[in-house]
Amino acid sequence: MSYIAPVKDMLFDIQHLARIDQVAQLPGFEEAGLETARAVLEECAKFNEGVLAPLNWEGDKNPSSWRDGAVTTTPGFKQAFKQYTEGGWQGLQHPTDFGGQGLPKTIGAPCGEILNSANMSFALCPLLTDGAIEALLTAGSDALRATYLEKMVSGQWTGTMNLTEPQAGSDLAAVRSRAEPQPDGTYKVFGTKIFITYGEHDMAENIVHLVLARVTGAPEGVKGISLFVVPKFMVNADGSLGARNDVHCVSIEHKLGIKASPTAVLQYGDKGGAVGYLVGQENRGLEYMFIMMNAARYAVGVQGIAVAERAYQKAAAFAKERVQSRPVDGSAHASATIIHHPDVRRMLMTMRALTEGCRAMASVAAAAYDASHHHSDAAVRQQNQAFYEFMVPLIKGYSTEMSLEVTSLGVQVHGGMGFIEETGAAQYYRDAKILTIYEGTTAIQANDLVGRKTARDGGQTAKAIAAQIEKTEAELKKRSSADGRAVAARLQAAREAFLDVVGFVAGGAKASPNAVYAGSVPYLMLAGNLMAGWQMARALMAAEDELAQGTDTAFMQAKIATARFYADHLLTRAPGQRDSIVQGADSVMALAAEAF
């Protein structure tokens, strides 16, 4: 079954939840209203459905290969990347000053979902380039911007993030790569970086590596790390490409999933030192790298939504075709398609509700990002920034964990056929697993949620969001519909569970860190569930209002049913999570380390 982009659902979120009418009032986004969103998404869908989606399975069967330092991507990828860049898709959200289209994240994010649904392995190359562009826009000198940005925004050159080393995974304080200052103001970079996505490939003329390293004599730990631009090919004064720099791919990894995406081991400085250019100031590299990481963390959350959507579409199509067993209600005297079986419906509704809930959550966060960067009122910018920053670990953590649940259910719907690679259901399951790991594991997102986003301000941001949710409950309770009142009750119970945990976290993070962090991932899952459920509750109200106007009856009825299912079957997880967090901490640490 081929992929069909869920443009209608995306536009519903953009219009009713993200309120694109308000985004279009922001300075610089006056032309980016609903009709622009519709035109861009429809064009994006056409390209991805026709060009990239057919290559997804091919990439799994024929992944990227490495030989003598060179990487050859999956057949068809190079030509597809040329079409992608010629269409201007790399520059969608980037400034017009550097050749981009300057569209808001509210429109760019769903385009990212479509791209990742079509072909996640392919999409990783533009994703990492976006992060590198963000870092250079924020911290790069005028000279670095002038040299690199236009070619990166066009997609002529691609970008990478180089953090991880064999001994330094999540603990970046252990980075050993070094940079030696040179008389001409450049640096010589030495070291080994691992897990570098698209660190070497054949799709672009040049690769711009952003590399963490320590300048000679820098302080130990995270305070002594700097960020450098290290291009694969040196760039001449006229912008043309010069000599090959001293950075080489010594191997690529063999992986569980995203097989077409080359994950490189890069060696810097084997032949005298790779030429690097300092980004910003020495010893502030981690601060700049977090700009890339925050952009990438949101994007990885969108990847989770994307692969979940692809798995749902495949499972739903299979369920409508696969004949097996008589329905339990006796509605057919012979075997029927499995879509008639209640448990298959439960699985499909879970897949659908989780995917739509996370999509809605990501859409609302994208609008907050746009307001935080473009609103004319500083107080409004700050308020939206706090909301967006609170949401990032939830979008990354909850949406990716959700994708594992959804893609696993996708295999389950297929039954034994799902375990056979040829059906394609297993690829989504395998591809999804990396999402809970790279760009910061779920536990790291949870640590961020506990430490920076909850304990630091005594839970004030979390409580302010809960107050907004309470207003939605009040609106639901005023409605005459049974669905609205039922969803309000579920939402209230989940919000109260959330507030209990926020109080526990804010009150105990310093005094009882083991107790609080033992429940950090359950807290993230509870919070993500609540935020997605809140948006589904808002979606229900919007759909009821549209239904009353006679608008797109079948779509609106489906949205209401999905929102009700989310409340009944997913929001109900929150009180149990609260109990395990607040009352179950002791049992997490009860066994001594040597007892395992």
pLDDT in tens, the chain (596 residues): 699 999 999 999 999 999 999 999 999 999 999 999 999 999 999 999 999 999 999 999 999 999 999 999 999 999 999 999 999 999 999 999 999 999 999 999 999 999 999 999 999 999 999 999 999 999 999 999 999 999 999 999 999 999 999 999 989 999 999 999 999 999 999 999 999 999 999 999 999 999 999 999 999 999 999 999 999 999 999 999 999 999 999 999 999 999 999 999 999 999 999 999 999 999 999 999 888 888 899 999 999 999 999 999 999 999 999 999 999 998 888 999 999 999 999 999 999 999 999 999 999 999 999 999 999 999 999 999 999 999 999 999 999 999 999 999 999 999 999 999 999 999 999 999 999 999 999 999 999 999 999 999 999 999 999 999 999 999 999 999 999 999 999 999 999 999 999 999 999 999 999 999 999 999 999 999 999 999 999 999 999 999 999 999 999 999 999 999 999 999 999 999 999 999 999 999 999 999 99
Rounded (10°) CA dihedral 228, 234, 240, 241: -130
C-alpha span between 192 and 266 (Å, rounded):
6
C-alpha span between 575 and 238 (Å, rounded):
62
Catalytic residue among 439, 470, 496, 546: 439
Query: Could you tell me the two tokens for 114?
Result: 């479509």
CA angle 12, 16, 17 (to 5 degrees): 100
| Partners of residue 160 on adjacent β-strands | 209
Residue 293: the pLDDT is: 86
Tokens 């967090």 found at: 581
Last residue of a domain, one of 283, 308, 337: 283
Q: Provide the 8-state DSSP code for 323.
A: B
Residue 1: the pLDDT is: 65
Query: Could you tell me the two tokens for 455?
Result: 């304990």
Residue 292: the pLDDT is: 81
Q: How many domains does the chain have?
A: 2
In a domain, 35, yes or no: no
Residues 204, 148 contacting (CB under 8 angstroms): no
Q: Residue 489 sits in which domain range?
A: 443-596
Phi and psi of 188, rounded to 5°?
-100, 125
Q: What CATH code is carried by the domain that includes residue 154?
A: 2.40.110.20
In a domain, 37, yes or no: no
In a domain, 471, yes or no: yes
Q: Which residue, among 260, 302, 258, has the nearest Cα to 115 in the 3D structure?
A: 302
In a domain, 304, yes or no: no
Last residue of a domain, one of 283, 314, 338: 283
3-state secondary structure 325-368: CCCCCCCCCCCCEHHHCHHHHHHHHHHHHHHHHHHHHHHHHHHH
In a domain, 122, yes or no: no
H or E element at residue 583: helix 574-583
C-alpha span between 473 and 579 (Å, rounded):
23
In a domain, 217, yes or no: yes
Q: Provide the 8-state DSSP code for 263.
A: E
C-alpha span between 391 and 347 (Å, rounded):
27
In a domain, 568, yes or no: yes
Tokens 């691609």 found at: 158
Residue 291: the pLDDT is: 82
C-alpha span between 52 and 77 (Å, rounded):
8
C-alpha span between 4 and 310 (Å, rounded):
9
Last residue of a domain, one of 233, 267, 283: 283
* Residue 220 bears catalytic tag: no
Query: Could you tell me the two tokens for 332?
Result: 């057919």
Q: How many other C-beta atoms lie within 10 A of the C-beta of residue 29?
A: 21
Is the pTM higher than 0.95? The answer reads yes
H or E element at residue 561: helix 553-565
C-alpha span between 495 and 530 (Å, rounded):
7
Phi and psi of 509, rounded to 5°?
-60, -40
Kindly give, in sequence order, each residue whose CB lies less than 8 Å from that of residue 19, ignoring residues fewer than 6 positions away. 367
In a domain, 30, yes or no: no
